[in-house]
A and B are shown apart, each in its own frame.
Chain A
Amino acid sequence: MIGVLALQGDFEAHVDALRRAGVAAREVRGADEILDSRGLVLPGGESTTFRKLMDGTGIEDAILTVARRGDPVLGTCAGAILLARDVEGPPSQGLGLLPMTVVRNAYGRQLDSSIVRLTDVAPGALGEEPLEAVFIRAPRISAVDPSVEVLARRDGDPVLVRKGNVTAATFHPELTDDRRVLDLFLSGRPCA
Chain B
Amino acid sequence: MTPISGFQLTSPFASDEFRVKVGLAEMLKGGVIMDVVDADQAKLAEDAGAAAVMALERVPADIRRDGGVARMSPVAKIREIESAVSIPVMAKCRIGHLAEARILESLEVDFIDESEVLTPADGENHVYKHDYKVPFVCGCRNLGEALRRIGEGAAMIRTKGEAGTGDIVHAVKHLREVTRQIKALTLLTKDEWMAAAKNLGAPFELVAWVATYGRLPVPNFAAGGIATPADAALCRMLGAEAVFVGSGIFKSSDPAKRARAIVEATTHFQDPARIVKASEDLGEGMKGIEAAKLTEAEQLQTRGW
A186–chain B nearest beta-carbon distance, Å: 22
Chain A 1-36 interface 0/1 with B at a Cβ cutoff of 8 Å (1 = within): 000001111111100000000000000010000000
Binds B, one of A46-54, A121-129, A146-154, A158-166: A46-54
Closest residue of chain A to B87 (Cβ to Cβ) is: A46
Cβ of A69 under 8 Å from chain B: no
Decide: A49 and B50 in contact? CB cutoff 8 A. yes
Decide: A137 and B30 in contact? CB cutoff 8 A. no
Decide: A49 and B31 in contact? CB cutoff 8 A. yes
Contact A115:B20 (CB < 8 A) given known A53-B264, A89-B86, A175-B26: yes
B255–chain A nearest beta-carbon distance, Å: 15
Decide: B268 and A46 in contact? CB cutoff 8 A. no
12 other A-B residue contacts (CB within 8 Å) besides A45-B28, A46-B88, A115-B20: A6-B267, A8-B267, A9-B31, A11-B29, A46-B51, A48-B86, A49-B31, A49-B263, A109-B108, A110-B110, A110-B134, A175-B19
Cβ of A77 under 8 Å from chain B: yes
Cβ of B229 under 8 Å from chain A: no
Decide: A90 and B86 in contact? CB cutoff 8 A. yes
Cβ of A113 under 8 Å from chain B: yes
B107–chain A nearest beta-carbon distance, Å: 10
Cβ of B221 under 8 Å from chain A: no
A51–chain B nearest beta-carbon distance, Å: 8
Q: List 5 A-B contacts (CB under 8 A).
A: A6-B267, A46-B31, A49-B51, A53-B264, A104-B86
Decide: A8 and B23 in contact? CB cutoff 8 A. no
Decide: A109 and B110 in contact? CB cutoff 8 A. yes
- Complex formed: what's the CA distance from A10 to B241 in Å? 10
Decide: A9 and B29 in contact? CB cutoff 8 A. yes
- Complex formed: what's the CA distance from A12 to B51 in Å? 16
Cβ of B156 under 8 Å from chain A: no
**A-B contact number at CB 8 A:** 107
The A interface, classified by DSSP as helix, strand, loop or mixed, is loop
Chain B, interface residues (CB within 8 Å), range: 35 or more
A79–chain B nearest beta-carbon distance, Å: 11
State which of B24, B47, B48 has its C-beta within 8 Å of the C-beta of A110.
Answer: B24
- Complex formed: what's the CA distance from A104 to B52 in Å? 15
A90–chain B nearest beta-carbon distance, Å: 7
Which B residues lie within 8 Å of A134 (CB)? 19-20, 23
State which of B16, B29, B108 has its C-beta within 8 Å of the C-beta of A111.
Answer: B108
**Interfacial residues, chain A to chain B (CB-CB below 8 A):** 6-13, 29, 44-46, 48-49, 52-53, 77-78, 89-90, 104-105, 108-111, 113-115, 134, 136-137, 172, 175
Which B residues lie within 8 Å of A90 (CB)? 86
Closest residue of chain B to A172 (Cβ to Cβ) is: B23
State which of A10, A108, A113 has its C-beta within 8 Å of the C-beta of B29.
Answer: A10
- Complex formed: what's the CA distance from A48 to B29 in Å? 14
Cβ of B38 under 8 Å from chain A: no
Decide: A137 and B88 in contact? CB cutoff 8 A. yes
Decide: B134 and A111 in contact? CB cutoff 8 A. yes
- Complex formed: what's the CA distance from A48 to B52 in Å? 10
State which of A29, A44, A109 has its C-beta within 8 Å of the C-beta of B27.
Answer: A44
Which A residues lie within 8 Å of B231 (CB)? none
Top 9 closest A-B pairs, CB basis?
A52-B49, A110-B110, A10-B26, A8-B30, A115-B16, A8-B31, A136-B23, A109-B108, A113-B20
Contact A53:B134 (CB < 8 A) given known A45-B30, A113-B20: no
B232–chain A nearest beta-carbon distance, Å: 13
Decide: A137 and B110 in contact? CB cutoff 8 A. yes
- Complex formed: what's the CA distance from A89 to B110 in Å? 18
Decide: B267 and A110 in contact? CB cutoff 8 A. no
Decide: B23 and A113 in contact? CB cutoff 8 A. yes
Which B residues lie within 8 Å of A10 (CB)? 23, 26-27, 29
Which A residues lie within 8 Å of B46 (CB)? 48
Decide: A8 and B51 in contact? CB cutoff 8 A. yes
- Complex formed: what's the CA distance from A49 to B32 in Å? 9
Contact A9:B108 (CB < 8 A) given known A49-B87, A89-B86, A114-B16: no
Cβ of B244 under 8 Å from chain A: no
Decide: A136 and B31 in contact? CB cutoff 8 A. no
State which of B49, B135, B267 has its C-beta within 8 Å of the C-beta of A48.
Answer: B49
- Complex formed: what's the CA distance from A108 to B27 in Å? 16
- Complex formed: what's the CA distance from A110 to B17 in Å? 11
